[in-house]
Chains A and B, each alone.
Chain A
Amino acid sequence: MSGKLKRKFLAARQDFVAQLHEMASRKNMTLYALVNETLEQLFRAEEMEVPLPEVVDGYSFMKLVRESGFMVVHESLLFYLLEKVLEENDSLADMFYKNGYWFGKYLQVRFSGQEPLGVFKKIASRFFGGVSEFRIIKNSDEVSLQCIGFRLLDSYTKLLSVFFEGVIDALGYSIIKRDVSKGIISLTFKTREGVE
């Protein structure tokens, strides 16, 4: 015998409830079932110790990087390829720069009217594997970027730094100071004239 679960009531903004109601109709669900399912997802996020808005943010950024031509690869494979190719090729840095520049422009277009630097900060700290700390600090006309990843190889650190330079350059800043050593990247940029 399945005993009926007891119900209680929760208050929410009327406009949200109306939207949920529409959503439930589209999904052929009752509002009751949809709200219960939504709350269950909150508990799952809480179990992961991540606030629900961060989970949704994380997903939207993942969608963004996927749509902009990134792919997932295991770090051991990527580092292996980089080490091998770097021995005989110096055009790789140029490619990282160009890819970064393209991604910066992409962010600028996708987030016009918003702050693409802030979006990039969230993406980089979340998705660039091996990076344990990532900061972008904006002070009047200067931007400083700091990235730390103890596991990063020397070669990969340099390439990642060039990628970052490409991104920030595309967003209208020129590099004025560069300090890069194994696992540590510190870059300072200045706004180019005419760029806000």
Chain B
Amino acid sequence: MRTSAPRLIAPPVEEQPIYPYARVWRSLALFGVSLFVVTLVMWTLDAFVLDIERTLYAPIAISIALIPAGLWALFALLPERGALEPRRGLIAVFAVSALVANGITLPVIEGVLQIERWLPLADLVTRIIGYTIGVGVAHEISKYLVVRLLTWDSLLRARMDSIAYVTAAAVGYATALNLVTALRDPAAPAASAFAVFGTIAFSLAPSLIVGYGFGEARFSNPNAFLLIISFAMAALIFGVATVLRSNLVNAGFVLAEQVQTSAPSPIFGLAISVVLLLGMSIVVASLITSAERREAEIRAGEAK
């Protein structure tokens, strides 16, 4: 009797498709957490450990202003080298966005809109409207145009590309604003760190929404109003968050029977920035995931 060894057939293994691009949300999370940690470290050092001379404020403030650019290069730019399909043009988007911020948008906001002359003293509703349609729209249209002109035709290949490019634009833009502030009026290291984190969060969070609308407009062919709605939402969120932050952070005027001190509360500002950045990231991530799932279902339906 001849016996033969049983023939075993290996069960089919579903091969995981290789993701050829660098992970954007991971880079963004690492960037945000690192910047948050740096801010807390600067605050701790300034408040409890170091007694820094006032003459050193300017170089320290400039260094702090450049930290987000360094972290972005480390966590977003460097992983692109290891990706199968690296995103091209990120540095160009970063640099052009910074140049536009310093050369066009900031002079328009300060010289034409003259926000400082009328908006800080206006009532609450006027401030929200003013910061939305004035500053918010000016910031967002600058970043949108840079990303639109540099990436739309040839660099966008997947939805997450739009998030990667708007992140580059937002970080470049905020870096320019932070450098201008550091050069004009250098503050103490802790205050500089809080301001830098705030500028980054207030530049990046609205841009993520624009990035979602931008990606959808490129890959989904949605309603023509989706992009403008996302753009308007981004400007509105900037306006509301700016007014909310200034109300909570700035020192108030206290009239009480006993003497009370009223000091700025930068920790509130940091908390608002963190909540804004985290909240917008979660919302945009779920919107993009939902859009990708919807597209996959449509493709599967077409294949059947």
The finding on whether chains A and B are genuine partners in a shared complex, rather than unrelated, reads no
Interface residues of A (CB under 8 A from B): none
Residues of B within 8 A of A (CB): none
